[in-house]
Amino acid sequence: MLADLTAGAVQDAEARASERPLAAVERAALVRPAARDALAFLTPADRVKIIAEVKRASPSRGDLAAIPDPALQARLYEQGGASAISVLTEGRRFKGSLADLEAVSAAVEVPVLRKDFIATDYQVLEARAAGADLVLLIVAALEQDVLIRLHALTCELGMTALVETHSADEVARAADVGATLVGVNARDLSTFALDRDLFGRLADRIPSDAIKIAESSVLTPADVAHYRAAGADAVLIGEALVTGDPVATLTAFLEAGS
């Protein structure tokens, strides 16, 4: 599944590149205002930080919410206390777009993450051109030399990479590239099975100077408290926020992560 999702995302990027060449995207990326400092917003504090996700659908859950106005959704997240906004830009299975990312980036003051299956320089550059402050790099989807290159390009553009892992070996690979944001996804993107305790088993392996982010399997305040107790500095939440009242849900989640 992960290989198919990544291949599809790369194919879609290649189609966009036929209309907007790499040089044009690079120029657009370089003239953007400086990226927001994601580390400043996500640095550990006395309570958990939340990355709130604009997410219409997923391969595992199908359609979740229409979200006709992603900018409004993001402003509600910011109002509710989110420290960053994640925007799904993959169109085939998640029904997102770069237009969503641009709209959200223009609407909020907190950092914005482009969440997609990124495997090429072009995708990193178009993320910055669309206003992203962070990009997702999934270790399981990338050879180490590609991970190193994309991480370096992300930093060169002034953005921050959220380097996503699913195993001890992948955490070690993230550490080797100097990742400052390391995520542990409870969802195995090969099988889509969930393991909420995976973060707790891997947290101590994440370098002490990196911000630790728990991803997936967050539906209730108890889930947030579980991840906080296991050492999470931040949690990334999608489904629970798009299927309910985002402000009220965020308030409850932040209280649980105190």
The pair of three-digit structure tokens given for residue 101, joined into one six-digit string = 């990312």
Question: Would the pLDDT of 59 be above 90?
Answer: no
Question: Would the pLDDT of 50 be above 90?
Answer: yes
User: pLDDT grade, residue 244 (50/70/90)?
Assistant: confident
Low-confidence winner among 12-26, 177-191, 212-226 (lowest mean pLDDT):
177-191
* Nearest in space to 93 (alpha carbons), one of 113, 73, 74, 117: 117
Q: What is the total residue count of the chain?
A: 258
Residues identified as active-site: 53, 55, 115, 164, 185, 215-216
Give ∠ CA 164-15-101 in degrees, rounded to 5: 50
pLDDT at position 136:
98
The pair of three-digit structure tokens given for residue 257, joined into one six-digit string = 């992560």
Summarised one tens digit per residue, pLDDT across range 135-171 is 999 999 999 999 999 999 999 999 999 999 999 999 9
pLDDT at position 223:
96
Residue type, 41: F
Q: What percent of the chain has pLDDT over 90?
A: 91
CB 161 within 8 A of CB 150: yes
Q: Where are the beta strands (DSSP E) in the chain?
A: 49-54, 57-58, 62-63, 84-88, 112-115, 134-138, 160-165, 181-185, 211-215, 234-237
Q: What is the mean pLDDT of residues 15-36?
A: 97
CB 87 within 8 A of CB 101: yes
pTM: 0.96
Tokens 């996503």 belong to 164
Q: What is the DSSP letter of 219?
A: -
Q: Which residue has the higher pLDDT, 115 or 238?
A: 115
H/E stretch holding 125: helix 121-129
What angle in degrees, to the nearest 10, is found between the helix axes of 121-129 and 2-19? 70
Low-confidence winner among 56-65, 106-115, 118-127 (lowest mean pLDDT):
56-65
CB 157 within 8 A of CB 151: no
Summarised one tens digit per residue, pLDDT across range 199-230 is 999 999 999 999 999 998 899 999 999 999 99
Question: Would the pLDDT of 191 be above 80?
Answer: no
The pair of three-digit structure tokens given for residue 99, joined into one six-digit string = 């237009």
pLDDT at position 1:
87
